Structure 1
Amino acid sequence: MNPPEAARRRLGPEEDTMTNRRSMIYAKFEVFEEQLAHCYFMLHERFIANPPLAKFWAETAMDELQHYSILRFCRERGMIAEADVDFRTIERVEELLETVKGIVSDPEVSINEAFYASLLMESSESEDIYEKLTAVLARDHRLLYDAILASFRAHHAALAGAAEEFCSDRGIAEAFRNLGRRLS
């Protein structure tokens, strides 16, 4: 019997329903992180003629795959935070991701548009939810949790630095800098 099953067997029906709901939230946000990674891989491919920019998008995609993997790790081991996320929030994140997919799938997407699309997701509620869902690791997996926080800060610093370097729209670069300050 795996750990999540063992934990569910000790719960009553009401707690089991809540555990299943929370597990489904993890699964949903895993999908969001994986789809965002795919968007960033598409930007890598779109800007392949600009190696520094293409490399940045590939690295950013890898960060999102790491987020996906961490959420899956938590869910599969039954390390589920008591963070309740309402259905409307999930819908908003999903709608935002669909908007981002639409932007990045344009073969003529500009650098500014690419960073704008990234800013939409990176400044959304999904980032706060990711932090809440992974906070459960702080108790029993402190080293991993500290590494996640450091990686999260580095991820946002890289976004701010790349926006500064590649965007002609200074407002986008400033928005990423402000986001980095908020998350630090």
Structure 2
Amino acid sequence: MTSAQPAAPTVSGPPLPLLHAPWTARVARAEGVDLDLVHGWMQSPHIDAFWHQAWPRERWYEEIAGHLAGDAILPVLIDLDGRPLAYIEVYRVTRDRLAGHYAHLPHDLGVHIAIGEADRTGKGLGRSLLRALAEGLLAADPACTRVVAEPDVENGPSLRAFEAAGFRPAGQVVFPDKTAALLVHPRAEEDLPR
């Protein structure tokens, strides 16, 4: 007689962050205005320099629709005072390539961020959004004890915004397409990776 192995914990897909005014978050749709917005933003040089996803509209349709059909990545649009500001991808680290690069916990959440219009960057909006986003994700998933990000080490403005928003450096991760800074926004000091 063999003993059964304990089942791995079941973790839901990533939640929509719970944001407070002046921020609002909603799930991005794979068609219409949402698709036009994300596709247009991704063509912008300031985003393409680090996302490398200046894809045709049809490819973005497939990308967003694929995320919506799965439980690994939630595509989100963020508005500031009712005006679209950023495209965010909220992901479960345990279902992401980042999982093999640090001692993640089952409920860890990660974020990718693209502020859509270049003239809205460099004004402190990114750091304000990142702080609200981290707090909103921790509020949306009480089992989550840390929100992580892995921006390119060459993206100085992004690194500064994450750190100003309370994300802490936790090393570097080498991916085939970039060397990333692992940044962690813990719920409490003891939640930092060791």
Do Structure 1 and Structure 2 share a fold, with TM-score over 0.5?
no
TM range (shorter): 0.3 to 0.5
TM-score of the pair, normalised by structure 2: 0.32
- Taking structure 1 as the reference length, the TM-score comes to 0.33
Q: Give the helix-richer structure, 1 or 2.
A: 1
Question: Relative contact order (C-alpha < 8 Å, sep 6+): which is higher?
Answer: 1
In our comparison, the structure showing a higher alpha carbon Rg is 1
